[in-house]
Amino acid sequence: MVGLHKSEFTNPVINWIDTRLPVFTMIQKEYGEFPTPKNFNYFWNFGALAMVNLVIMIATGIFLAMNYQPNSELAFGSIQHIMRDVNYGWLLRYIHQNGASTFFIVTYIHIFRGLYYGSYKAPRELLWILGVVILIIMMATAFMGYVLPWGQMSYWGATVITNLFSAFPVVGPKIVTLLWGGFSVDNPTLNRFFSLHYLLPFLLVGVIFLHVIALHLTGSNNPLGIDVKSPQDTLPFHPYYTAKDSVGICVFLIVLSVLVFFAPNYLGDPNNFIPANPLQTPADIVPEWYFLPYYAILRSVPDKLLGVCLMFGSLLVLFVLPWLDTSKVRSVRFRPIYRVTLLVWVVAVFVLGACGAHKPEGIWVTLSRIGTLYYFAQFLVILPILGKLERPLPLPESISHPVIGGRGGGPLPTGAAAKPMEKA
Amino acid sequence: MRTMRSLMAGAFAATLLAATAIAQETELPNQKWSFENPFGTYDLAAAQRGFQIYSQVCSNCHSLQYLHYRDLAGIGLDVEQIKAIAANVTVPDGTDDQGQPKEGPATPASQFRSPFPNAKAAAAANNGGIPPDLSLIVNAREGGPNYVYGILTGYTDPPEGFKVGDGLYYNKTFPGHQIHMPQPLREGTVDYTDGTGNSLEQEAHDVVTFLSWAANPEAVERKQMGVRIVLFLVFLTGLTYAVKRKVWADVEH
């Protein structure tokens, strides 16, 4: 279609811009009127929270980069320079450091929400796949970011994780050399990790943009997991969900603030306050808490290549999840057995996290094997079979039906809930 | 569902327990620190006494390289005192007209003087052990201030049959119990100018207070800012929640 957009905005400046580039119409459509199921619970806050968290990370990161030196001789000291001499440098750094942790907390809950209410099922498969891509980019970014302070755990964590690639036959050692930019983790490694740590978040922004476009095409899932049937089932995004998301954002900021101001190093490792020393291996090399379950999966088998494959497999399996789950019913509310198996899976992930924090000895080996087994069994065995065996509970007719029925079957509301119908 | 919840709670508790139980082979002392709770501040008198100990004892072997003399304002010293302290120290000061490295008196803007020019020199002078920089020592050890206090007060006779290596000393807190550092503090090692008693415990407590400040000089400002910000955010959350309730008031959901 060629021609100017017919803008409905009355403000002449906005109208002039909107006629030529309808961004205001887009915002109005996607964040103003966007019809959103009216029955969201607070689990639906976490996508917005992740977005806010990403903005916080990019904003603090830009200013940290102005004072950081990506050089193996200077990196550790430049962090201390930021912490001690840069005005409010400690605030920027602690927000960035703890923001990484909250980013993973928020994202993991967001993913759990997707699993719990079946948000990955048709027609949202691609939305889910883009989400997995986001998770993987996020993990790579976090890993490289953790290397930048060039403390002992930065250095040895980087050594252990990059070395994993050497397990792959033929190309493995070449990949490792390429990652390192040499024959050990050293200054070139730090340089390229810094460059990539700055690049990947913007790639992340791009993929998140696609994730949101996909979301706005299919529309949101909801706690009942049934499709929107009529305009009565939805509310305009603004002001209903802008108001609800704002509550979540405030609570999120409280959590982040408590970490930043009162326990900034609680989630960190004391070893990273010691400058990197290639000649001295720390007693126990542990990744950041958000990688512990994967680390446990990696170490659960005695074979390096198999461990590496399992670790990457634990992420890759998520890509095909929409096709592994054979049930047509989305929400756990109507899948009593799936609910149990999913919650056991969550327990398994926590157990794997605990295993990852411990040396692979004694009981921890057994636990990590059981955890790993269940992690994969849930996706590869239970989900495909369960969809065929499980008898789901009867689904409600529509989103507004059970809601109103549940409250005594009163008459349809005439107020705000009816408004979107006029707009739609 | 209820059983599931308790199962989840159990797993979570196990994770937490596991996290706290990460090997601490020797029991650390559990001292009371002025700075430990969310409202705690540094006991400045103790930190100043601790600085005296650092200057007279620790600084013979340990650097404090991420600090500058001007930072001492953080433990309550004024500009004149800082200038006087710096003027008494000789630090590297660029090169002279012949291009030879020269030394000169420090200024408040100077980095703390390091006792050894490099790690090799430090190792050579200390029987192969490199005295760690103390700027971050409290953050860099599991147990923090209690660990450092434990080291300083942990020199005892080795238990029977324990063989201590050549040039090493027995310390009950140190992992492996053999440490390169000879006992640095004893009763009466320093004479405090403010007349405080100089027992070993007092000295150790003071120097650990100083080192805790050195590792986290922003801590007091940070916590005070945190109290204000969290209170504000709690208020804002309440307000936002009220708005949300009002917006949703006429929706059946």
Residue-wise pLDDT tens digits, A343-363: 999 999 999 999 999 998 999
A262 contacts B226? CB cut-off 8 A: yes
- Please tell me the distance from the alpha carbon of residue A231 to that of residue B55, in angstroms, as a whole number: 75
Nearest CA in chain A to B243: A243
pLDDT at A417 over 80: no
What number is the average pLDDT over the span A318-345? 97
B240 phi and psi angles, rounded to 5 deg: -65, -40
> Quick one: which H or E segment has residue B97?
none
Q: Tell me: pLDDT of B242 over 50.
A: yes
User: By three-state DSSP, how is residue A398 classified?
Assistant: coil
Record: contact B250-A417, CB cut-off 8 A? yes
Both structure tokens of A136:
């993987």
Q: How confident is the model at residue B21 (pLDDT cuts 50, 70, 90)?
A: very low
**Length of chain B in residues, anyone?**
253
Res A404 pLDDT > 70: no
Dump pLDDT digits (tens) for A262-281.
999 999 999 999 999 999 99
pLDDT, chain B, mean: 90
pLDDT at B15: 52
- For the stretch B131-155, pLDDT in tens is 999 999 999 999 999 999 999 999 9
Q: Which range among A281-295, B5-19, B230-244 shows the weakest confidence by mean pLDDT?
A: B5-19
Q: Residues of A numbered 172-231 whose beta carbons fall under 8 angstroms of chain B's beta carbons: which are they?
A: none
Q: What pLDDT score was predicted for residue A243?
A: 97
Respond yes or no: is residue A245 known to be catalytic.
yes
What pLDDT, on a 0 to 100 scale, did the predictor assign at position B27? 83
Q: Residue range A61-69: average pLDDT?
A: 97
Q: What is the mean pLDDT of chain A?
A: 93
Q: What is the pLDDT of residue A416?
A: 42
**B140 sits in which H/E element:** none
Which residue in the list A18, A245, A269, A325 is annotated as catalytic? Answer: A245
Buried b / exposed e across A95-108, counting CB within 10 Å, b at 16+? bbbbbbbbbbbbbb
Is A288 annotated in the active site?
A: yes
| Mean pLDDT calculated for residue range A11-18 | 95
pTM of the model: 0.91
The enclosing H or E element of B170 equals strand B169-170
Q: What is the pLDDT of residue B231?
A: 98
More confident residue, B51 or B194: B51
**Candidates A262, A280, A346, partner chain B, best to mutate (most B CBs within 10 A):** A262
- Residue A419: is its pLDDT beyond 50? no
Residue B8 has a pLDDT of: 55
Q: A7, A101, A119, A220: which one is catalytic?
A: A220
Q: Report the C-alpha gap between A206 and A49 in whole angstroms.
A: 17
The answer, yes or no, to whether residue A410 has pLDDT greater than 70, is: no
ipTM comes to: 0.89
Q: What's the pLDDT tens digit per position in A183-215?
A: 999 999 999 999 999 999 999 999 999 999 999
> Would you give the distance in Å from CA B222 to the centre of its chain?
16
pLDDT at residue A97 tops 80: yes
User: How large is the average pLDDT for residues B30-48?
Assistant: 94
pLDDT (mean) for A218-231: 95
Residues A416, B251: C-beta atoms closer than 8 Å: yes
CA distance B248 to B253: 9
Looking at the predicted structure, is the pLDDT value of residue A407 above 70?
Answer: no
Element (H, E) at A113: helix A89-116
Q: Please determine, for residue B17, whether its predicted confidence score (pLDDT) is greater than 70.
A: no
Told to judge if A220 belongs to the known catalytic residues of this protein, a careful annotator would answer yes
* Cα–Cα distance measured from residue A114 to residue A43, given in angstroms and rounded to the nearest whole number: 9
Q: Which is the catalytic residue, given A269, A288, A325, A358?
A: A288
Average pLDDT over residues A59-83: 97
- For chain A, positions 372-411, list CB contacts with chain B under 8 A: 400, 403-404, 407, 410
Q: Give yes or no for a contact between A413 and A227, defined as CB atoms under 8 angstroms apart.
A: no
Mean pLDDT of B202-213: 97
Query: How sure is the predictor about B2, in pLDDT bands with cuts at 50, 70 and 90?
Result: low
